[in-house]
Structure formats: structure tokens, C-alpha cells
């Protein structure tokens, strides 16, 4: 993609900052973010001539319209995310992820954008999904369990945006990310937490027996998938799983890999999970491969090897870890 003006809501976060970095040399990029999680400070993009930073919140309709006005493409990353962040802020999660998305969609329609890429979540598949496909049934846990507030808010946003696609012609592509990791992840994340614990020779905490299974996707591969969503004409009107099934591992195996690669003295401790847990989450990416030409190439070990040095360099400036999630 070249010579486009792209607005990335939540563009100062982990994924958003990597998208901005990839796009900036050939495009104008508007980063619209409230700096709740400021990962872009580590990307050293401050003086890039193609970057415009606007501090703002997607709940502010007027500011959101101004940020998106004149843009060709919107990549909507902004959300309250992370299991423990959601648990502490359930009301805000519902408001930002549903009502905030509504503001962004309406601003995109007013600006007549060429493409609107909306981030959903793999959480919409519920606690047990293997080779899950985009047209599989979505599953939400019981009302009252905060674990599922995030999934419910994202699924509702998918339905809202898809209604705008059908009724108003919103050029919509929905992305369901599966366990993305890599440098500059400053929010909740199991690999982030385990690496930080290992670098401090602290005990690595796993929940239950550590046999929960995840498929991990390195950030560079994930960004490649997102950029394909912005460019392929046939993607409009579709949802895509973006992840890497070949990065599938148990949490116990993951912890031992990180112990080996960091050469730490850390051991592993097991604790009961404080709430409902996801035992298995592995995507099918066949649709993204077929329609988008998406092909993740970074192995889990290679990705972790590339991630560890970043945390070694920046550990002192990061918020202190307090939990590891799966």
C-alpha cells in the first residue's frame, strides 16, 4: 500500500505502533490514541514527516471525526483489552468497545473511507476451539463472569459494523487476532509476563496445571495479515482469523522454552486460576491463506528469540509485572 492516508485508532499501542512503523515510509499515518498504553514511544517515530499524532478518545465523537476526516483507510485497534484489564473495568470495556466503535464507524462512513479494518478477538470462540473457522458458532460465557465481557463487547461490535456494511456500504473487514506477541508489548500478555519474570530470575507463574494450549503469532506475521486486509479487494465483507497454528504449544512447554532461551534460574509455580479459563485456542487460517495470501513464517522459538532482547533493554522502564495470563 502506498500514498494513502491511514488512521490507526489505538495506534500508540503494541500492535498499532507496529502497523504505523510498517506503513509510514510510503503513506501518511494518523495515530489516534489516548496513550493508555504507550508503546509507540519505543518505536522512535516522533520526527517522521509522515506521522501525525492526535491525542484523543474514541468515545469523543467530534474528536474522532476530526481525526478520521480526509483518511482513505481506518484500522480500528482501539479497545479495552486483556483479561485482567477487562476484569477491573467491565463497564468501561463495554462502553469503549461497543459505543466507541460506533463512533469510529460513523466517522469512517462520513469520511467515505476506502477500507475499514476492525479488530475483534479470538475470545468470541469461547473456552475451547481447535482449528476454529470464521463461520463457526461463536460462544459467550454466562452473564456475570467478567472474563466474557470483552468477547461480548467485541462480538456485538462485529454485528454492528456488519450491519453498517450491509445497510450503508461500510467497506468492512473484520480481524480476529490469535495470541499475538513480540517486542513493545506493554499490556497483558503471557509471553511478555513470562519473559519479564525469567529475566529477573523470578518464579514463572502458570495457572492450574499449565496444559492450556495456545497458538502464538509473532507481531511481524500478524501485521502482514492486517496489511493484506487493507489491500485485497475481495476481503471486504469478511472476517478473518489471523494467527499462526504452527506456533501451538502448552503454557508449560512455553514457560520451559522461555527458561531455556533466557538462560534463567527461574522455576515454575502453579496456582489455581482465579476465574474461567480457556483450555484450547487454535485457529484455522485457511480462509486468510486462500483469500489474502497470508502466510506466517516466524516459528515460535525464533519469535521469542527476537523478543527477549527488547525486554532486556527496556525492562527498567516498563510497568512492573504482577500477573501472567494465558
pLDDT band at 78 (very low <50, low <70, confident <90, very high): very high
Neighbours of 14 (CB within 10 A): 24
The verdict on 136 and 210 lying in the same domain is: no
- Same domain? For 17 and 115 the reply is yes
Return the C-alpha cell found at 220.
Answer: 511481524
Q: What is the pLDDT of residue 310?
A: 97
Give Rg (Cα) of the chain: 19
- Please give the pLDDT value at position 277: 84
Is residue 36 included in any domain, yes or no?
yes
Three-class DSSP category at 180: strand
User: Residues with Cβ < 8 Å from 299, sequence gap 6 or more?
Assistant: 246, 247
Which residue in 222, 226, 243, 247 sits closest to 302, CA to CA? Answer: 247
Given a cut of 50, is residue 124 above it in pLDDT? yes
- Of 265 and 276, the one with more pLDDT: 265
What is the number of alpha carbons within 13 Å of residue 299 lying toward its C-beta? Answer: 4
Q: Is the pLDDT of residue 89 over 90?
A: no
Mean pLDDT, to the nearest integer, of 85-110? 92
**Band of residue 88 on the pLDDT scale cut at 50, 70, 90:** confident
248-250 and 213-215 strand pairing: antiparallel
CATH code, domain carrying 123: 3.40.50.720
CATH number of the domain bearing residue 202: 3.90.25.10
Do 23 and 126 share a domain, yes or no? yes
DSSP states of 99-141: IIHHHHHHHHHHHT-SEEEEE--GGGG-SEEEEE-TTSPP---
Chain mean pLDDT for the chain: 93
Residues 196, 151 share a domain: no
> Mean pLDDT over residues 9-31, rounded?
97
Range of the domain at 266: 182-215+245-278+297-317
Which of these, 266, 321, 323, 317, lies nearest to 38 by C-alpha position? 317
- The closest alpha carbon to 325, from 40, 81, 72, belongs to 81
- One domain for residues 20 and 95: yes
Query: Is residue 323 included in any domain, yes or no?
Result: no
pLDDT tens profile 214-261: 999 999 999 999 999 999 999 999 999 999 999 999 999 999 999 999
- Is residue 286's pLDDT more than 90? yes
Residues 172, 39: one domain?
Answer: yes
Shared domain check, 64 and 105 = yes
Please compute the mean of the pLDDT values over residues 43-59 and round it to a whole number: 96
Do residues 67 and 54 lie in contact, with contact meaning Cβ atoms separated by under 8 Å? yes
Does residue 77 lie within any of the structural domains?
yes
In a domain, 286, yes or no: no
pLDDT at residue 324, as a whole number: 41
Tell me the pTM: 0.94
222 with 89, same domain: the answer is: yes
pLDDT given at position 323: 37
241, β-bridge pairs: 176
pLDDT above 50: residue 282: yes
For residue 287, being part of any structural domain is answered with no
pLDDT at residue 87 in the model: 73
- The reply to whether 289 falls in a domain is no
Q: How many domains does the chain have?
A: 2
Based on the fold, state whether residues 107 and 256 are members of the same structural domain. Answer: no
Same domain (yes/no): 201, 236: no
Lowest-confidence range among 138-152, 194-208, 275-289, 302-316? 138-152
pLDDT on residue 326: 39
State how far the Cα of 285 lies from the Cα of 290, in Å rounded to an integer.
9
Residues marked active site are found at 150
Residues 116 and 40 in one domain: yes
Task: Dump pLDDT digits (tens) for 168-180.
Answer: 999 999 999 999 9
Cell of 239: 472476517
Distance spanning both ends of the chain, measured CA to CA: 34
* Domain presence at residue 264: yes
Long-range contacts, 315-319 (Cβ 8 Å, 24+):
315/196, 315/199, 315/200, 318/186, 318/196, 319/186
- The rounded distance, in Å, linking the Cα atoms of 237 and 264 is 47
Task: Judge if 117 and 206 occupy the same domain.
Answer: no
Task: For residue 127, tell me if it sits in a domain.
Answer: yes
The whole-number average pLDDT for the span 187-205 is 94
| Dist. CA 324–CA 326, nearest whole Å | 7
Amino acid at each position: 500500500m502506498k500514498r494513502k492516508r491511514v488512521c490507526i485508532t489505538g495506534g500508540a499501542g503494541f500492535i498499532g505502533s507496529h502497523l504505523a512503523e510498517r506503513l509510514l515510509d510510503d503513506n501518511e499515518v494518523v495515530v489516534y490514541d489516548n496513550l493508555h498504553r504507550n508503546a509507540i514511544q519505543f518505536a522512535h517515530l516522533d520526527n517522521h514527516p509522515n506521522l501525525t499524532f492526535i491525542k484523543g478518545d474514541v468515545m469523543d465523537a467530534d474528536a474522532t471525526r476530526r481525526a478520521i476526516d480526509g483518511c482513505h483507510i481506518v484500522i480500528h485497534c482501539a479497545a479495552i483489552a486483556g483479561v485482567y484489564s477487562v476484569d477491573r473495568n467491565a463497564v468501561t470495556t463495554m462502553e469503549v468497545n461497543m459505543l466507541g466503535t460506533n463512533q469510529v464507524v460513523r466517522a469512517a462512513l462520513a469520511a467515505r473511507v476506502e477500507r475499514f479494518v476492525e479488530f475483534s478477538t479470538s475470545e468470541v470462540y469461547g473456552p475451547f476451539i481447535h482449528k476454529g473457522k470464521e463461520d463457526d458458532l461463536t460462544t459467550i460465557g454466562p452473564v456475570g463472569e467478567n472474563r466474557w465481557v470483552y468477547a461480548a463487547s467485541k462480538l456485538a461490535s462485529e454485528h454492528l459494523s456488519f450491519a453498517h456494511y450491509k445497510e450503508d456500504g461500510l467497506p468492512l473487514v473484520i480481524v480476529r487476532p490469535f495470541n499475538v506477541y513480540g517486542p513493545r508489548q506493554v499490556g497483558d500478555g503471557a509471553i511478555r509476563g513470562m519473559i519479564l519474570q525469567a529475566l529477573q530470575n523470578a518464579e514463572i507463574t502458570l495457572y492450574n496445571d499449565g496444559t492450556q494450549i495456545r497458538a502464538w503469532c509473532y507481531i511481524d506475521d500478524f501485521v502482514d495479515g492486517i496489511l493484506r486486509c487493507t489491500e485485497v479487494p475481495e476481503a471486504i465483507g469478511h472476517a478473518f482469523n489471523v494467527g499462526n497454528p504452527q506456533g501451538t504449544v502448552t503454557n508449560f512447554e512455553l514457560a520451559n522454552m522461555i527458561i531455556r532461551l533466557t538462560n534463567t534460574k527461574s522455576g515454575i509455580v502453579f496456582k489455581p486460576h482465579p476465574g474461567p479459563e480457556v483450555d484450547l485456542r487454535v485457529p484455522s487460517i485457511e480462509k486468510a491463506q486462500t483469500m489474502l495470501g497470508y502466510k506466517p513464517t516466524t516459528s515460535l522459538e525464533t519469535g521469542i528469540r527476537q523478543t527477549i532482547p527488547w525486554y532486556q533493554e527496556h525492562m527498567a522502564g516498563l510497568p512492573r509485572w504482577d500477573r501472567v495470563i494465558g
